Amino acid sequence: MLNISDELKDLFKKDSVYKRLIIRFSNGEHADITNDQILTESMIMKELLCSQDELHFGTCNTTKFEVSVADVVANIKGCEICPVLVLNSNEIPLGIYTVGEVEKNAGKPYKKITAYNRMKLFDKDVKGWYGTLKFPMTLKAFRDSLLSYIGLQQVSTTLVNDNISLQQTLDATQTINGLELIQAICEINGVFGDITRDGKFRYVTLNTEYGLYPGDDLFPSEDLFPSDGSSVPINAVLKSIPIIDDYETAPIDGVVIGDNEMYYETDSHNNPFIIRDNALLYDRADLKQIAERLATKINGIFYRPAEITAVGLPHLELGDSVVCSRKADFVQTFILERTLKGIQSLTDVYQARGEEYFSKDYNSIGDKLKRLNRQYGQVKTSIETTSRGLELEVERAASAEGVLRSAIDVLGGEVGIKILKNGTVTTNLTLDNNGLSFSGNKVQIKSTNFTLTDKLIVNTTNFKILITKTNTS
């Protein structure tokens, strides 16, 4: 939550108080876009912490800002903008965004501006940076270096697994996506990534200190809520009846770490958070300690999946806890998704999705492997990390034979085995939905019971079959 006065918070709850939107340019290259140039109530700010069907720590999403403006003739695409809401000479920043699209509406004097915050800076290939790192290094040093390379300041935070030592587990000759790396960091520390209103990267923690609230029969008086600041009461600003699920998510009570070859779960795991295929956890002997530290961070978190429409409160942020009621039903939830619309008549829509229990299908790895293949290119690792299932690669030098390489590729429903000599494929075996195909200089089958059905087609000038024993019936 932004640190503003209680008086200013109260003013935002009233549509009768005059509000203005001003859009400034970070470098001052263009004049401010003032409220008179902005189409009435056209502003939309869409923020995401986690939009998956069940809660998953580590996600880092880009915030989108949209507004329609008139009398803007300059080319502002690519410019960085800083929109602010002004109320009684008080300014509330809405973020720092780079203009991505400027669309002119046919027959209308307005242009629609779509801009994105600095989270987009992570979505690029960082193999050049990764290849310069000196391993081993701590996770803290790793994330500090990544943020510095991306060009973002970060809010000073100590993460529960900051002190683990990292080795090189990715091939720096292949594409390495920066967004995937920062999400891997956040995932094993039980946090989410977000960009602050002043453009810094922050690690968002879900607060488990909800406080004690009155009985349902005492709602909706806001004065009955405690003032510890752990949750924000919003009953007085609801615009419609909240849409809520019939259950609260079961409190998180453990951690499971697993992929193709390794597996660890904490002692308590009735509803554990599950980590699969995190690139920072390959071939580690300290999974137990990592999981237990993470469990101390996230154990006890629960909430009510809900969608709540209320008066727009721009000082609230992703990850904040809000409380309200629906008739006799008490609702405590987190702002995992947020859409702020309007200017004078601000409206907030908060949403939190979630299943009652986390999915416990520990073995559903195939889709994740395919996704990693698409994002990283065929990630190649050393023989120590080949059990990740992405690619098995063995290189050995032979002075007389050159370099022999064997590789197993798992891609898009096809398994391929190739033998290469001096960069040339000498043997190739492929298994897919159509069957098995083989190319090479020699095929030798040794079997005590060999069966061939349907057809045998031979296309060669030198073919011989030696039958030493036959059985007929």
Closest by Cα among 101, 111, 149 to 128: 149
Count of CB atoms situated within 10 Å of the CB of 15: 14
Average pLDDT over residues 232-243: 94
Q: pLDDT tens across 147-161, in order? A: 999 999 999 999 999
**CA–CA separation, 141 vs 321, rounded Å?**
31
- Residue 54 · residue 361 · CB < 8 Å: no
Helix or strand holding residue 369 (H, E): helix 366-376
pTM summary value: 0.76
pLDDT, residue 117, reads 98
- Residue 323 · residue 234 · CB < 8 Å: yes
Q: 54: pLDDT confidence band, cut at 50, 70 and 90?
A: very high
**Candidate from 95-99, 209-213, 269-273, 386-390 with smallest mean pLDDT:** 386-390
In degrees, rounded to 5, the angle at the alpha carbon of residue 278 between the alpha carbons of residues 51 and 172 is: 115
**CA–CA separation, 445 vs 447, rounded Å?**
6
Q: pLDDT tens across 400-449, in order? A: 344 434 445 555 556 667 665 655 666 777 777 677 777 777 777 777 77
Q: 105: pLDDT confidence band, cut at 50, 70 and 90?
A: confident
Average pLDDT over residues 167-192: 96
Looking only at the bridges linking them, the beta strands covering 337-341 and 347-352 are antiparallel
pLDDT, residue 216, reads 39
Residue 370: is its pLDDT beyond 80? no
pLDDT, residue 393, reads 41
Average pLDDT over residues 328-341: 93
Token pair 């970060």 in the structure block, residue: 154
Closest by Cα among 64, 66, 77 to 21: 66
Residue 163: is its pLDDT beyond 70? yes
Average pLDDT over residues 360-365: 57
- How many residues are listed for the chain in this entry? 473
Q: pLDDT tens across 264-277, in order? A: 777 767 899 999 98
% of the chain residues with pLDDT over 70: 75
Q: How far from 460 is each of 346, 453, 457, 463, CA to CA, in Å?
A: 78, 21, 10, 6
pLDDT, residue 365, reads 47
Peptide bond into 226 cis (omega under 30): no
Residue 392: is its pLDDT beyond 50? no
Q: 326: pLDDT confidence band, cut at 50, 70 and 90?
A: confident
pLDDT, residue 414, reads 62
**CA–CA separation, 278 vs 294, rounded Å?**
14
